[in-house]
Amino acid sequence: MPFLTIRGVQLYYEDTGGPGEPIVFSHGLLWNSNLYSRQIEALKGRYRCIAYDHRGQGRSTAPPGKGIDLRTVYEDAVAFIQALGLAPCHFVGLSMGGFVGLRVAARHPELLRSLTLLDTSACSESLWNLSRYWLLTATTHWLGLRPVVDRLMSIYFGQTFMKDPARAAEREELRRQLLQNPRDVWRAMQGVITRRGVTEELSRISTPTLILVGEEDVVTRPEMAETLHTRIQGSRLVLLPHVGHMSNLEQPELVNRAIHRFLSGLAPRQEEFGVMASAAPP
């Protein structure tokens, strides 16, 4: 299995290889690199797709002890892109992965060719959410996810998906995947819920940006996506109907089409202009 030593930890990643432009996929809290399997399957013919597990989640390691703050996870992403020589890469982040992507785009624009944000926010948690999420984190710390997994499912997924009888098997499989998290995942949970907001940094983002949000998302609500769209100059916003927080799992085809259209519409890189010019007839 491929691991990369980054800042004292082993980060697990999967890389399709190939000559295409690289896309780095950054997953949401309590998930792992498998989260993007449907997107990678759709895009790997044209792009080199790299998905990794954040420290302390999936198969990536983390030193024992305290919580894993989001700044550390963001710094891991920067080091990961640099270590694999992926810059400038396309970056796709959902929820926690979007928190990471926003920080990379604002602070290291030279690393990114584009940014796709799925169901994410630049804000810190509200006091109301913080109190609820602290309870979920504390329960996970002492008892694991089993006592709270049904609550997590109802938060993560939209009502359309949760009430569809035809998708009962999918729901059960996703519930099983959540339960595979060890109790120690509370450390990542703590880092996410106590993150600092970066709304004031959004005006610094010049990377071409696509923002997707489910209209049924109750974690990072559509108005938070509107804030991103308003403050990131030139960004595109797509509202996904009948979709909750885990948009790429609930409606993978819609998400895949939106990402494909966005990436296909980007202007060629500067070196590509040079190739085109040299190939042009005199």
**DSSP annotation string for 82-133:** HHTT--SEEEEEETHHHHHHHHHHHH-GGGEEEEEEES--SSPPPHHHHHHH
Mean pLDDT (whole number) for 126-136: 93
pTM listed for this prediction: 0.94
Q: Is the peptide bond before 282 cis (omega within 30 degrees of 0)?
A: no
CA gap 113, 154 in Å, rounded: 35
Integer Cα distance of 58 and 111 in angstroms? 24
- pLDDT for res 66: 86
Which pLDDT does position 267 carry in this prediction? Answer: 81
Given a cut of 80, whether residue 279 has pLDDT beyond it is no
* pLDDT per position as a tens digit, 10-40: 999 999 999 999 999 999 999 999 999 999 9
> What DSSP character marks residue 217?
-
H or E segment to which residue 12 belongs: strand 9-15
CA distances from 30 to 102, 127, 155, 156 (A): 19, 22, 13, 11
Treating both helix axes as pointing N-terminal to C-terminal, what angle do 70-83 and 186-193 enclose, rounded to 10 degrees?
A: 100
The whole-angstrom distance between residue 83's C-alpha and the CA centroid of its chain comes to 20
Tell me the pLDDT tens digit for each residue of 79-103.
999 999 999 999 999 999 999 999 9
Q: Which of 51, 28, 29 is nearest to 39 (CA)?
A: 51
For residue 263, the model assigns a pLDDT of: 98
The one-character DSSP state at 269 is P
- Over residues 129-140, mean pLDDT: 95
Three-state DSSP state, 240: strand
- Is residue 203 pLDDT above 80, yes or no? yes
